[in-house]
Amino acid sequence: MDRTLSLNGDPNIGVFARVFEDIAFVPVDSPEEFGSKIAEALDVEVIPTFIQGSSVIGLLLTGNSRGFVVSGLIHDSELELLQEYGDVLLLGEEMNAAGNVILTNDSFAVVHPDMSSAMRKMVGEFLKVETVPMSFGGVGTVGMVGACTNAGVLLPARSAPSELEHLESSLPTADISVGTGSVNMGSNLIGTGLLVNSKGYLAGNATTGFELGRIEDVFGFL
């Protein structure tokens, strides 16, 4: 099947949707075809919603199998919907765009280097993972710079060797593949153009064949 997708012509699909192992959240106003392709490619139940009344769900929501981390400015009805599917941690105003500042799976969470120690501790205890404050390619918005599953982590090609080494040394298991690449014809903001779980992936429709090959290699889809 075609592994690329856009939202109304915009290839930055990771800004607008957030995918987990069994569910995905997409904007209420997104076309039916957008959710249908996500459901088919990643074998998930697709749930339409907004976060903070906004369609940029990928920027504001993240999490792992233990629960969701989301902006504390979320509307009550949106929060109630999330709680139907799992536990929810609300971030305070200090740094509340959870999907922007946290990159996590079931083993670790990389967080924005400026995140306070108190917030790091809160996130780590909720997700039951170790938190690692760092940046990639000098960019601290790790949730949009990278993408990860329990099998692999894809980081921007401009990441420094020392950053990759630091992440690899921080991982609790050597079974997680770490690699570099890009999306959407050279964009280093991997998370903005990639939706991925253990069952499949979709990349922005400007992503090249070479870039798709790197995604498949790092996440073990070859």
* Phi and psi, residue 194, nearest 5°: -145, 130
Per-residue pLDDT, averaged over 7-18, amounts to 98
The CATH number linked to 31 is 3.75.10.10
Owning domain of residue 115: 4-219
Q: Model confidence at 92, in pLDDT bands (50, 70, 90)?
A: confident
Inter-residue contact 29 to 55 (CB < 8 Å):
yes
pLDDT in tens, 172-182: 877 899 999 99
**Number of structural domains the chain divides into:** 1
Per-residue pLDDT, averaged over 131-142, amounts to 96
pLDDT score, position 65: 97
Per-residue pLDDT, averaged over 68-94, amounts to 95
pLDDT in tens, 144-167: 999 999 999 999 999 999 999 999
pLDDT score, position 173: 72
Q: Model confidence at 1, in pLDDT bands (50, 70, 90)?
A: confident
In 65-151, beta strands by DSSP E:
67-71, 88-91, 102-104, 108-111, 130-133, 147-148
